[in-house]
Chains A and B, each alone.
Chain A
Amino acid sequence: SYVLTQPPSVSVAPGKTARITCGGKNIGSKSVHWYQQKAGQAPVLVIYYDSDRPSGIPERVSGSNSGNTATLTISRVEAGDEADYYCQVWDTSSVVFGGGTKLTVL
Chain B
Amino acid sequence: EVQLVQSGAEVKKPGESLRISCKGSGYSFTSYWISWVRQMPGKGLEWMGRIDPSDSYTNYSPSFQGHVTISADKSISTAYLQWSSLKASDTAMYYCARHGNEGGDFDSWGQGTLVTVSS
Contacts and interface: CB of A to CB of B under 8 A. Distances in A.
Given A95-B47, A97-B44, A43 B61 contact: no
Contacts of B110: 42
A30 to B, nearest CB: 9
A96 B46 CA distance: 8
A94 B105 contact: no
B45 A94 contact: no
A49 B105 contact: yes
Contact of B35 (A54, A95, A99): A95
B85 interface: no
Contact of B44 (A54, A86, A94): A86
Contacts of A79: none
Contacts of B41: none
Q: How large is the interface on A (under 10, 10 to 19, 20 to 34, 35 or more residues)?
A: 20 to 34
Label chain B's interface by main secondary structure: strand
Interface residues of B, number: 21
Contacts, number: 54
A96 B107 contact: no
Contacts of B105: 33, 45, 48-49, 88
B65 to A, nearest CB: 11
A45 B107 contact: yes
Contact of B47 (A31, A54, A94, A99): A94
A97 B47 contact: yes
A84 B110 CA distance: 18
B102 A54 contact: no
Contacts of A48: 105, 107
Interface string B102-114: 1101110111100
Interface of A: 1, 31, 33, 35, 37, 42-45, 48-49, 54, 84, 86, 88, 90, 93-100
